[in-house]
Amino acid sequence: MTVTVSSLIEGQRVATGGGHLLPIADPATGEVTCELREADAGEVDRAVLSARAAFGNWSTMSTDRRNDILYAIDQRLRAHGDELAALEARTTGLPIAGVRPLIDRAGENFRRFAEVASTVAGETYLQNAQFLTYTTREPKGVAALIAPWNAPLALGSMRIATCIAFGNTCVLKPSEYTPESTLRMVEIMHEAGLPEGVVNVVNGRGSVTGEALTSHPDIDMIGFTGGTETGKRIMAAAGARLKPAIMELGGKSAAIVAPDADIERALDGTLLAIYASNGQQCLGGSRIIVHRSIADRFIAAFVERARKIRIGNPLDTATEMGPLAFAAHRDHVRGYLDVARSDGAEILCGGGIPAGFEQGWYMEPIVAMAPGNDARICQEEIFGPFATFLVYSELDEAIAIANQSDFGLVSYVWTRDLATAMTCSRKIRAGTIWINTPMMRELRAPFGGYRASGVGRDGAQHSADFFTEAKTTSIPLEDTAIRALGR
Ligand code: NAD
């Protein structure tokens, strides 16, 4: 049966309308299971009006009352965890075993940012003896939020939570490839008590619905998670209208494996960092830089494990890798096999269609040996299960390779030597450095990228700063002289 999805405005799914229809296929079978009715500029306008109308009450509600609602959303999302995880896995192709914890994380996003909101406080300045000067923080207004397809619930909930916890309202556009789970999540948020209009959802292509939303004159700010080129376009448009924008963009992250690393942990960690979520993650450790003395042994063991990754239906709890999200994306990832070969790289394994998985967009995980860090497979974001190896001799060389990239989102370091760890932490130019751990996300800490990986940071204080306006008030403590003009 084909489901039709469209927008959710003022707390209600929009049932009718004449928008363009887009077929959406199940990544595991290739069959069309969903039809997206695209929101045009008029529908986007209604969604923004709805968010603007809700802003009055939501922004002036006491933080405690707002937080009660955010805590209820956390509870309700967790209670619907199995349902949401199945929907997310089926529509994205992500293995359900990896998706299920992300639903609890989606709930946690609302709880964590509610906690942050309850600690927001101003400053007072009494250095000038005649005046009391203090600051307050006010919600900024209506946000346009844009999310990608690789983890719609984890990333969509992050965008929404950082925005509404500080009293703002929003219109979110999920990716046109994966619209279903976000709509259901926002519906559940309303069941938990979210007032109508605080969160609205519009669906459609970036060039139509996305542009109508980000260029809408009544939008006060933009929160974007997606590709670097799209981010540049949106930021240029935002700049022309002086709208602040936070950008979480692409990555080509390095994983350095030092000679003293715990090899088994480093293997587990580097495999997970590139192949989790079917390799479709911004923080994927796609460039693995191994010390020459252990390279042969490490790479051979990595290839052996990559070959054994269990490929299967995303709804099967034993599956470690599902299909890629859509046909064009699988073609894009496989296209890098030719790019690699023409650059002189050696494909060590993978890239084929796994036997028994000819339907849908499955592919075997790829391991390649790069001829050098200049190769396109080391410089371009492939965003799939494509691990690329490089070898180094001196730590400075490994760090230089890590930094020789347009991107700077995260970096992984595997070592038991404190000096190596601290040198990497200081010298690698990336927003997050993970030492002896893959993908530890501390929601209170800033997260974001250097260079082409982003502008701004999510995280407790950083989100509070972005999503509120700081206001300064000065009051004389006694009658102060005012220079009298025209008396
Ligand atoms: P994308 O840039 O193609 O699309 C992202 C979103 O932007 C989609 O909803 C799309 O419809 C919309 N969009 C496209 N053009 C637009 C326009 N002109 N105006 C407004 N909206 C527009 O990215 P994608 O392929 O969906 O996602 C993969 C990318 O996202 C990768 O580069 C990945 O690294 C990045 N990503 C980054 C993070 C992070 O936190 N840094 C997290 C996840 C994904």
Distance (Å) from CA 148 to ligand 1 centroid: 4
Query: What are the pocket residues of ligand 1 if the criterion is a CB atom closer than 6 Å to any ligand atom?
Result: 146-150, 155, 173, 175-176, 205-207, 210-211, 214, 225-227, 230, 233-234, 248-251, 282, 381, 383, 409, 449, 454
| 226 and 91 belong to one structural domain | yes
Instruction: Give the whole-angstrom CA distance, residue 59 versus residue 365.
Output: 47
Q: Which atom of ligand 1 is nearest to the CA of 447?
A: 40
| 39 and 10 belong to one structural domain | yes
Residue 1 in this model has a pLDDT that exceeds 90 = no
Q: Which helix (H) or strand (E) holds 428?
A: none
Distance (Å) from CA 368 to ligand 1 centroid: 26
**Shortest-distance Cα residue to atom 22 of ligand 1:** 206
**Shortest-distance Cα residue to atom 3 of ligand 1:** 227
111 in a structural domain: yes
Q: Which atom of ligand 1 is nearest to the CA of 448?
A: 41
Name the percent of the chain lying above pLDDT 90.
98
Residue 439 in this model has a pLDDT that exceeds 90 = no
113 in a structural domain: yes
- The pLDDT, as a whole number, for residue 59 is 98
**Shortest-distance Cα residue to atom 16 of ligand 1:** 206
385 in a structural domain: yes
282 is catalytic: yes
| 245 and 259 belong to one structural domain | no
State the residue for tokens 């937080």.
67
Residue 354 structural domain: 254-435
Phi, psi of 324 (to 5 degrees): -70, 165
Mean pLDDT of 211-216: 97
CATH number of 232's domain: 3.40.605.10
State the residue for tokens 């605080």.
198
| 258 and 245 belong to one structural domain | no
**Shortest-distance Cα residue to atom 35 of ligand 1:** 226
- Condensed to tens digits (0 to 9), the pLDDT of residues 138-160 reads 999 999 999 999 999 999 999 99
447 in a structural domain: no
**What SS3 class is residue 229?**
helix
Name which of 38, 58, 50, 84 is nearest 200 in CA terms.
50
Q: How confident is the model at residue 23 (pLDDT cuts 50, 70, 90)?
A: very high
| 85 and 129 belong to one structural domain | yes
Identify whether the C-beta of residue 104 lies closer than 8 Å to the C-beta of residue 431: no
CATH number of 426's domain: 3.40.309.10
Name which of 358, 333, 346 is nearest 303 in CA terms.
346
Q: How many other C-beta atoms are found inside a 10 Å radius of the C-beta of residue 46? A: 18
Q: Which of 108, 176, 180, 248 is catalytic?
A: 248
Q: How many domains does the chain have?
A: 2
Distance (Å) from CA 226 to ligand 1 centroid: 2
**Shortest-distance Cα residue to atom 31 of ligand 1:** 227
| 457 and 364 belong to one structural domain | no
| 273 and 243 belong to one structural domain | no
105 in a structural domain: yes
Identify whether the C-beta of residue 337 lies closer than 8 Å to the C-beta of residue 366: yes
Please give the C-alpha separations between residue 283 and each of 230, 364, 377, 439, 440, in angstroms, as whole numbers: 18, 20, 16, 8, 11
Q: Which of 163, 282, 378, 424 is catalytic?
A: 282
487 in a structural domain: no
440 in a structural domain: no
User: Which of 145, 230, 405 to probe ligand 1 with, by most ligand atoms within 8 A of CB?
Assistant: 230
| 181 and 263 belong to one structural domain | no
Q: Which atom of ligand 1 is nearest to the CA of 174?
A: 9
484 in a structural domain: no
Residue 291 in this model has a pLDDT that exceeds 90 = yes
State the residue for tokens 């040996």.
369
Mean pLDDT of 207-224: 97
| 408 and 457 belong to one structural domain | no
| 15 and 131 belong to one structural domain | yes
Q: For the whole model, what pTM was predicted? A: 0.97
Distance (Å) from CA 208 to ligand 1 centroid: 14
| 238 and 266 belong to one structural domain | no
Q: And the tokens for 266?
A: 């480093």
Name which of 89, 110, 109 is nearest 98 in CA terms.
89
Q: How confident is the model at residue 354 (pLDDT cuts 50, 70, 90)?
A: very high
- Condensed to tens digits (0 to 9), the pLDDT of residues 27-38 reads 999 999 999 999
- Strand (E) positions, 153-219? 169-173, 199-201
User: Would you say the C-alpha torsion 104, 107, 112, 113 has a positive or negative sign?
Assistant: positive
Pairing assessment for the beta strands 468-476 and 131-139 based on DSSP bridges: antiparallel
Pairing assessment for the beta strands 287-291 and 124-125 based on DSSP bridges: unpaired
> What mean pLDDT value characterizes the chain?
97
| 80 and 145 belong to one structural domain | yes
